[in-house]
Structure 1
Amino acid sequence: MLIVPQIIANKEAYSKALAKRNFDAAPVFDKVIALDEKRRATQTKLDTVLADSNTFSKEIGMLFKNGEPQKANVLKEKTVQLKETAKELSTQLTSVQQQLETLLYTIPNIPHESVPDGHNDEDNEEVYKEGDVPILAKGALPHWELANKYDIIDFELGVKITGAGFPVYKGKGARLQRALISYFLDKNTAAGYKEYQVPHLVNESSGYGTGQLPDKEGQMYYVTGDDLYLIPTAEVPVTNMFRGDLLQEAELPICCTGYTPCFRREAGSYGAHVRGLNRLHQFDKVEIVRIEKPENSYQALEDMVAHVKTILKELQLPYRILRLCGGDIGFTAALTYDFEVFSTAQDRWLEISSVSNFESFQANRLKLRYKDSNGKNQLVHTLNGSALALPRVLAGILENYQTPKGIKIPDVLVPYCGFEWID
């Protein structure tokens, strides 16, 4: 979240930068500055009234002590009036502060200078590609037909139990799913990420802390009776573990990983591009999160990208990396790299990971700081990435590894699965 002093000091530069997102910041910034001026003026009036009230209270005591009750009673009446005025000003101040905070929550993060111009995903910039697309035998099937053929994922059973977008994994499908989770976690912990098991529901403060609220409120499942939200990603509970903390410089960087199911409403999506595992309401994902000193965060981002590349290389899946353009980058991110695996049977790219640097945007919301070597409190930078999201990785494995004999399991997963083929 941007803060008012930043906006005042960088209004023109921020407006220009946010234009990359197709966000018209100038009128919003004008409202922010006007509300802040009103807030400060109201605060000044309130401080003056409270100071006068305190002064009168002291004088009343002295007047009674000196035997001047009439003068004391006159001041008491003025004090009563001042208290009423202070109450009104406090109410006004709270209202203005809430309006200002609500408005600040609507402003997206400032994109990094390297973010390309563009309006949608067609304008994203390909920065890397690796792996050969396999040549499949005639009659190759998309993963939803393979899932039915080998009885490893039941989409209709999920509809019976819950609804569309909640598949049931069966037999070797369930074991392959579990193998991927274990493999991803092992790779992450071996790279220095500490593993956490976190709640799958979060409170409103956590949603605001990492920026899902209010921006993604309509995409999150809400538990009305308890005022809780089902998590859309492990990023939310993992990052919020540190909400409000003042870290010591020696504690940084903090590197976390965790597996959770993820829940997203994804309303209004239809067609072949969302069939099967392409888009789900519930899916599994292993996440990595980093908390860094600002000067180290972009090197950390590159390290995270390199880490995800090693996983995909071991899985021997053809993939590419995109730098997201201003019109496609997420609300909270300053810079995002998307990983996409090529689905040979569908002849299309499927997003399997986003790796992002949020700079201080989340830290401002989280009030997450560290004490530097000079003893000064500084905001940290936060980063996160998928390592990896399971559904489309699984779709890529089923489609790219299919043969007339069956589906071959990638060599790196065989020790985790306990089998080499789905047939």
Structure 2
Amino acid sequence: MAQPTYKTHLGMVDILPDDIRKWQYLEQLIRTEAELFNLEEIRTPIMEQTELIVRGLGKLTDIVSKEIFSFSRGDDNYVLRPELTAPVVRAYVEHHMEQRGGSQKLYYIGPMFRAERPQKGRQRQFHQFGVEVIGSDDPLADVEVIAFMIHIYKKIGIKNTTLKLNSIGDPESRDTYKAALKEYLKPNFEKLSDVSKERFEKNPLRILDSKEEEDQPFIESAPLITDYLSDESLQHYQAVKEYLTDLDIAFEEDPYLVRGMDYYTKTAFELISPDLGSQDALAGGGRYDLLVEEIGGQPTPAVGFAAGMERLLIACDELGIQLGDEKSVDVYIVTLGDAARKWGLSHLPDIRDLGISATIDYKGRSMKAQMKDANRENARYAIIVGDHELETNKFTFRDMVNSEEESISFPEILERLSN
């Protein structure tokens, strides 16, 4: 009878040991830099109620209409989270985090799920890191969020990026602009793509997001949303641009940047990199002053961004940026015979208690094979133990980098390792 064959689901990949160090390095870098910006980590469940995601993102978004993984158990309907802004806001409302005082400056790292066509930099299970600042309507909060986003990429070494910036205004500004946009598009309605025709009545702003070829001539000549901003929205946008300039953060205004979620207001931004090819977006976000109230909280301003970690890693590969050090171990105990193996096993804790990594051969191989394995593991030192060493209590301590060795006692080895 043939053995069954199992594989990962389409668009989902295993992260193997050879790659995991990149991920660990990246995650640790994000956490370290987040502390510099006084951000706190938040973690939410992978599953959320379907209604939360629908209300948060909007029924007409591609994510809700085409891409969510949904399922039911009894009378409860769930989705695997396709993004983390709505779940973070749900946690903010549910746990009354406004009572902690001040703005809640939160960051996250974790997997998301969308049932879309897999391609380079786009998977059905993917990972994002992001920031949500809830409780401030000050343009300074927008700029701090953008500054952290760019800071991470610069820290990694990705500098060939462009920050695109726009304002989509408050609800009144958007309603006025939507009416003007529909009036502009109406004479050419039949020439629009089927997707844009669907969006025309209920969400015409999303037409500006279209990647369909037949829509591009009309998008390029569309009226500008910045011409329809209220005085308050315009002042907010001007302040954001001034603060960015003060921080020497270059930006490129894109009047057709509207982002893909329904909860955005005012500031919208995106960070792109030509090193990613056609899928050039590294990160993006904006202000979402309506979302907290939309899902049951009090009216509360907020701003944030999300960044794809797979795309970041692709950019690093394209640029030859190495994340983290090669796999290595500080000490490899090479043992010859059962007594030596028992000695090695019992003395591994003594080395590890010093905060020094150590390992031992699990297979009982020859000394030659073990030394080859120590080289493969990039071991800094090897301790060679056999019957003679056990009798004399003197062990061969080999510096694998300098190819030097000496015969010394185990306490002396510990002293050398700790210095």
TM-score (norm 1): 0.49
TM-score (norm 2): 0.50
